[in-house]
Amino acid sequence: MILKLFSRKAKANEAITLGLYEAIVAAARQTRFYARFSVPDTPLGRYEMLSLHVFLALHRLKGENAALRAIAQEIADEFFKDVDHSLRELGIGDQGVPKRMKKLARMFYGRVGAYEAAFAADDREAFAAALTRNIRPDLEFWPGAAPVTAYVFEAREDLAKLSDTELAQGHIRFPDAERLAVSQSA
């Protein structure tokens, strides 16, 4: 009887986490990032956008609320499971996956540090520079950095408006990059 209660709660938490993670993935896959802002439509480019959106979600979920911190950890776990699965789909063997996962985890947490520092200073230029370094290291100046940075700061504001209850129930919203692209070009 007791085990049934725990398994029901675990399944409900899993459903919430998966729902949040699916919304994060959908936001990261908005075609405008790739078509208009020149984010490379490659596995690494998609990893960068997914990392950015996971960062945004984790940034919002951190804080005093223990339930949200637990959800943040579950989202991070889901992200790394997804990355592991993607590496295997790309044909990387069992022996190569752990080494690449270590590298990708270091990359992710390095980005989180740079993005958090720019957020703490409310420094859009530093954020744009970090995005350029991470998403388009082949370019000295990336024209897509400004609109993606504007998107990120708008997303931070939108996520801050969500109540803890909404997030705990699995509701998360990101801005529409298409709408932002229109306002950026106006």
Q: Which residue has the tokens 């007791």?
A: 2
Q: Which residue has the tokens 């637990």?
A: 70
Closest CA to 57 of 124, 108, 126: 108
Backbone dihedral angles phi then psi of residue 51, each to the nearest 5 degrees: -60, -45
Residues 6 or more apart in contact with residue 168 via CB below 8 angstroms: 16, 65, 67, 68, 71
Express each pLDDT in 4-58 by its tens digit.
Answer: 544 555 566 788 999 999 999 999 999 999 999 999 999 999 999 999 999 999 9
186: confidence class by pLDDT, cuts 50, 70, 90: very low
Cα radius of gyration (the chain)? 17
Question: Is residue 113 within 8 Å of residue 133, measured between CB atoms?
Answer: no
Q: Does this model's pTM top 0.85?
A: yes
